[in-house]
Structure 1
Amino acid sequence: MSQNGARQPSREPVALSQKQRYISLLEDTGVPESEHPEYVSAVEAFLRALRPATLHALSTDAVSDYLERLCQRPDLEDEQVRRAIGALRLLLLQLTRTPAGQDVDWSGWLERRRAVSPETASSPSRAVDAPGTHTTVATGVPRIARAAQTFPILNELAAAVQQRRYSVRTEQSYIDWCNRFLAFCSDKEREQIEQADVQRFLRHLEEDCGLAPKTQSLAYNAVAFFFQHVLDKPLDGASVDRRRPQRQPPTMLEREEVKRLLETMSGSLGLMAHLLYGTGMRLMECVRLRVRDIDFEQRRISVRDRNGEKDRELPLPETLHERLRQHLQQVSAQYRDDLASGVATVSLPATVAGESPEAAREWAWQYVFPSAQLSRDPASGQVGRTHLHASSLQRALRSTAQSAQISTRVNAQALRDAFAIHVLESGCDIRTLQGLLGHTDIATTMRYARLGNRADLMQVSSPIDSI
Structure 2
Amino acid sequence: MTGGDAALIDRFLEMLAAESGAAANTIAAYGSDLRLASTFLGGALATADDAALGRLGDEWRALSRASVARKSAALRRFFAFLADEGLRADDPGAALPRPGTARALPKTLSRADVDRLFAGIAERIARVPTDPNDLRLAALVELLYGSGLRASELVSLPRNAVAPDRPFIILKGKGGRERLVPISDRARAAVAAWRAHVAPDRQWLFPSGKGHLSRIRLYQILKALAADAGIPPDRVSPHVLRHAFATHLLEGGADLRALQSMLGHADIATTEIYTHVESRRLVELVNQRHPLVDVNAKRP
Bin of the TM-score, shorter chain as denominator length: 0.5 to 0.7
In structure 2, what is the equivalent of residue 111 of structure 1? none
Determine helix, strand or coil for the equivalent of 1:295. Answer: coil
Residue type at the aligned position of 1:293: A
In structure 1, what is the equivalent of residue 137 of structure 2? 269
Q: Quote the Cα distance in structure 1 between the aligned partners of 2:53 and 2:149.
A: 40
Q: Quote the Cα distance in structure 1 between the aligned partners of 2:196 and 2:137.
A: 16
In structure 1, what is the equivalent of residue 218 of structure 2? 393
In structure 2, what is the equivalent of residue 260 of structure 1? 116
In structure 1, what is the equivalent of residue 104 of structure 2? 248
Percent of aligned pairs with the same residue? Answer: 27
2:284 counterpart of 1:416: no
2:186 counterpart of 1:332: no
Q: Quote the Cα distance in structure 2 between the aligned partners of 1:394 and 1:213.
A: 25
Q: Quote the Cα distance in structure 2 between the aligned partners of 1:88 and 1:294.
A: 29
Matches within 5 A, 1:97-116: 99-100=23-24, 102=26
Determine helix, strand or coil for the equivalent of 1:397. Answer: helix
2:204 counterpart of 1:367: yes
Is the Cα–Cα contact under 8 Å of residues 13 and 27 in structure 2 kept in the other structure? no
Q: Quote the Cα distance in structure 1 between the aligned partners of 2:71 and 2:38.
A: 19
Residue type at the aligned position of 1:285: E
Residue type at the aligned position of 1:454: S
| Distance of aligned partners of 1:292 and 1:457 in 2 relative to their CA distance in 1, 3 Å threshold | closer
Displacement of 1:279 = 0.7
Q: Quote the Cα distance in structure 1 between the aligned partners of 2:225 and 2:25.
A: 21
Displacement of 1:255 = 1.4
Determine helix, strand or coil for the equivalent of 1:332. Answer: coil
Deviations 1:237-260 (A, max 9, x none): 6xx855467533143422121011
Determine helix, strand or coil for the equivalent of 1:312. Answer: strand
2:152 counterpart of 1:284: yes
Is the Cα–Cα contact under 8 Å of residues 401 and 410 in structure 1 kept in the other structure? yes
In structure 2, what is the equivalent of residue 321 of structure 1? 188
TM-score (norm 2): 0.62
Residue type at the aligned position of 2:179: R
Q: Quote the Cα distance in structure 1 between the aligned partners of 2:165 and 2:265.
A: 27
Deviations 1:211-239 (A, max 9, x none): 54311446799xxxxxxxxxxxxxxx6xx
In structure 2, what is the equivalent of residue 214 of structure 1? 73
Structure 2: which 5+ runs fail to align? 45-51, 81-94, 122-133, 285-300
Matches within 5 A, 1:8-407: 86=10, 99-100=23-24, 102=26, 179-183=38-42, 199-200=58-59, 211-217=70-76, 243=99, 246-265=102-121, 266-305=134-173, 308=176, 310-333=177-200, 335=201, 366-371=203-208, 373=209, 385-407=210-232
Determine helix, strand or coil for the equivalent of 2:141. Answer: helix
| Distance of aligned partners of 1:390 and 1:218 in 2 relative to their CA distance in 1, 3 Å threshold | closer
| Distance of aligned partners of 1:456 and 1:288 in 2 relative to their CA distance in 1, 3 Å threshold | same
Q: Which moved more, 1:287-296 or 1:206-215?
A: 206-215
